Amino acid sequence: PQGKVYNQKKVKSFLRYKNIVLICGHYEGFDERVRKFVDEEISIGDYVLTGGEIASLVLVDSISRLIPGVLGKEESFKNESFENNLLEYPQYTFPRLYNGLKVPQVLLNGNHAEINKWRLSEAQKRTTKRRPDLLK
């Protein structure tokens, strides 16, 4: 947890490299002399894991999904959380009614302009409530 905190901006910065070498600490970390040979230390959060392998998987997954062709469609990640400093809008699936909870009517009307307006509004509300730090 001594490195720079990993975020979506950092994910995108790694896309410029052809190769990335990840060195994973284990239990107490790694030999201090290794730091002389690394360009950057990354932290995925303020907690301790048994080893850096899980953290390295976070980096591999978050970076690789932005490589063209990995997800199939680029649109798959353009409106996700953190892409525009907003959390993602609420997601709904079928059935339209579950335990008395309904899918918002605007999502069922087929008007894509209204749906996009609703999504932006909901993303802004969600971000304001849950992660106001992203709006600074």
Domain coverage including residue 126: 79-135
CB under 8 Å to 104, separation ≥6 — which residues? 92, 118
Which has the closest alpha carbon to 63: 3, 1, 2, 16?
16
- The Cα–Cα gap between 40 and 89 comes to 33
Let me know whether 10 and 59 are in one domain.
Answer: yes
**CATH classification of the domain holding 83:** 1.10.1270.20
- Number of independent structural domains in the chain: 2
Cβ(12)–Cβ(66) below 8 Å: yes
What percentage of the chain reaches a pLDDT higher than 90?
69
pLDDT of residue 91: 94
Residue 73 lies in a domain: no
**CATH classification of the domain holding 36:** 3.40.1280.10
pLDDT digits 0-9 by tens, 53-99:
999 999 999 999 999 889 877 776 666 767 788 999 999 999 999 99
Q: Using pLDDT thresholds of 50, 70 and 90, give the confidence band for residue 44.
A: very high
Beta bridge partners of 98: 101
pLDDT of residue 7: 93
Let me know whether 85 and 55 are in one domain.
Answer: no
Alpha-carbon 96 to chain mean position: 28
Mean pLDDT on 21-37 = 86
Q: Does 20 or 3 have the greater pLDDT score?
A: 20
pLDDT of residue 122: 96
Residue 11 pLDDT exceeds 90: yes
Mean pLDDT on 13-23 = 95
Let me know whether 54 and 91 are in one domain.
Answer: no
Cβ(3)–Cβ(40) below 8 Å: yes
User: Whole-model pTM?
Assistant: 0.73
Instruction: List, as one string, the DSSP characters of 32-56.
Output: GGGGGG-S--EES-SS--SBSHHHH
